[in-house]
Amino acid sequence: MTSLRIGYTCHNAFPSTDTNTQQIVWTTAEVARLGHSVDLVVPALRGGPDTRQSIARHYGMPEGLPDRLRFVALGDSGGTSHLSRAWFDLRASRQFNRRTHDVVWTRDPLAFAVALQWRVPAVFETYRPDFATGLSFAPWRTATIGHSRRIAWLGERRLLGVIAHSKLTADAFIQAGVPAERVLVAHNGFAPSLMNPVLSGRDARLALGLPLDVPLVVYAGHVGAEKGTDALVSLAARVPEVRMVIVGASVEGSEQQWVHKQAERAGARNVQVVPRVDLREVALYLYAADCLVIPPTDEPLTRYGRTVLPMKVFPYLAAGRPILGAATPDLEEVLTNGRTAMLVPPGDTAAAASALRTLLTDTALAASLASAAAEHARQYTWDGRARRITRALGEWLQA
């Protein structure tokens, strides 16, 4: 494949604790390792004189950043307001043109719309089906998908394609009018280096100072009602013989207090909240678990609409531990009930409690699910994702 010249825009300052930046850095780094050049345009860089080393350390990259991945900062402030991010999106795509870049790639809807107006082939990546279905995004769809359909009749295709994190999202964009052959389902992944060294449950608990004599159920990810954390607390109350370890509460926010209040209200005295940890430490908690849990509710998907096939699923698989979750359409794309996980009806706390007790007492079943999960994880590395995406980009550009 011919080496691609890719321009990527992201309106987060780097490094960042936002999950999307982890996905962006790992994907673009693996794309660059394949021999393609990536200019990642961001509002600001943090980390002092050794910014690249700081970014590599922050995202757990022992080999460092590849030379072909270049960060371009447009300023020295990374404002998080809607206004500052919109201003960045309006300026970012102007860094690219057809002479210097083959394609613009972004997860930011305004930056994508601007790139199309600048006549540069552009790719939109997203986990959110509401961009394709929501009434509030109808003007954006008219300016992007509708506009691209119109100019395609003139022999020019500026909307090169859509990269969706799930089939659920891909189907929504196809229904919205993007040709199916221009929509790629590229599930997220995990970094094998972040899963090393592989530890036994006992060794991981000793390293973390966690008890050896109680079943540990671990959740690692963002915390809040929109993430279904209250469902974890309800589950803990139903199964008081376990310790529910919730890893990822924001240190600067009120998330820890919120979880403690939820636990007090539910009568769950077996909930332990751990503040957000370094990416390189997450695997320790996964290895320490007797069971890894995804909140057994569909509210993050159906009510809040901002969580679709959460990225935690992939390191969960790689950890080789039994997984408990809800039978939602997005999770069922990756997890198979009875083979790689136990999936229960969403919102049924009693069913989730029964399934959890089964996983903790049926050692043969737990071992079978854990082994199948670890094997299944092999197809979800960031390297594999980068290969699928660059193959699609090459085919779309040639077409």
From CA 113, how far away is CA 199, in angstroms rounded?
46
Per residue in 77-89, pLDDT (tens digit) is 667 788 888 899 9
The pTM is what? 0.94
**Site of tokens 């006549």:** 119
Q: Do residues 385 and 30 touch, judged by C-beta distance below 8 A?
A: yes
Q: What is the per-residue pLDDT for 154?
A: 43
From CA 295, how far away is CA 219, in angstroms rounded?
8
Helix (H) or strand (E) holding 394: helix 382-398
From CA 391, how far away is CA 1, in angstroms rounded?
8
From CA 100, how far away is CA 25, in angstroms rounded?
21
DSSP 228: T
Fold of 5-189+381-398: Rossmann fold (3.40.50)
**Closest by alpha carbon to 7, among 38, 35, 52?**
38
As annotated, the residues of the chain forming the CATH 3.40.50.2000 domain(s) are: 5-189+381-398, 192-379
Tokens of 35: 């021999």
Q: How confident is the model at residue 93 (pLDDT cuts 50, 70, 90)?
A: confident
Q: What is the per-residue pLDDT for 253?
A: 66
From CA 156, how far away is CA 104, in angstroms rounded?
16
CATH code, 192-379:
3.40.50.2000
Per residue in 269-315, pLDDT (tens digit) is 999 999 999 998 999 999 999 999 999 999 999 888 778 999 999 99
Per residue in 350-396, pLDDT (tens digit) is 999 999 999 999 999 999 999 999 999 999 999 999 999 999 999 99
